[in-house]
């Protein structure tokens, strides 16, 4: 037996529940990524420069629940530049999960190791953003469900 539901019958709930996200992108207002994160219930802070973003994360690691890097924008330097930014975070990545978004990402990556970033392929779909978001925040979401 197959059960079909229309979008109108489906109940969607934001999974972000007010998590503060630092989004590194050159897109004004966060662009499509910012809109997608806001649609998940997040509070978005947008910065357009790598070192400003790293400074913000290092100065207030408890204040941010997630760091999202649009590797294709501005001065990030592609996927490799995003990986360098993650390395510069040091041990902070254990407390602030990271999502890297890049066209260079051949396959999406959802590592079990908290010290490694989730990698999503651009252009980003709503589904892949939600899956990546939930994976990056899996421990926080599990704690909330308990």
pLDDT of residue 13: 53
Could you tell me where the beta strands, DSSP code E, fall in the chain? 20-24, 43-47, 66-70, 98-102, 118-121
**Residue % of the chain over a pLDDT of 70:** 84
Task: Return the higher-pLDDT residue of 10 and 19.
Answer: 19
- Average predicted confidence (pLDDT) for the chain: 85
Residues 6+ apart with CB under 8 A from 53: 22, 24, 47, 67, 69, 85
pLDDT of residue 74: 75
Domain boundaries in the chain?
15-145
Asked whether residue 97 carries a pLDDT value surpassing 90, the answer given is yes
Residues 6+ apart with CB under 8 A from 44: 21, 23, 30, 34, 37, 38
Name the superfamily (CATH) of residues 15-145: Response regulator (3.40.50.2300)
pLDDT of residue 8: 45
Asked whether residue 46 carries a pLDDT value surpassing 60, the answer given is yes
């Amino acid at each position: 037996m197959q059960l079909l539901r229309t979008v109108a019958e489906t109940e969607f709930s934001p999974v972000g529940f007010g998590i503060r996200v630092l989004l590194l992108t050159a897109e004004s207002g966060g662009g499509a990524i910012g809109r997608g994160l806001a649609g998940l219930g997040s509070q978005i802070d947008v910065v357009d420069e790598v070192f400003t973003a790293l400074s913000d994360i290092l100065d207030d690691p408890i204040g941010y629940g997630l760091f999202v890097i649009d590797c294709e924008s501005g001065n990030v330097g592609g996927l490799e530049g995003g990986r360098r930014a993650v390395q510069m975070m040091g041990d902070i990545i254990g407390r602030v999960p990271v999502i890297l978004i890049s066209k260079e990402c051949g396959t999406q990556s959802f590592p079990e190791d908290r010290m490694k970033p989730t990698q999503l392929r651009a252009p980003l779909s709503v589904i892949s953003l939600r899956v990546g978001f939930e994976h990056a925040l899996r421990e926080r979401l599990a704690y909330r469900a308990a």
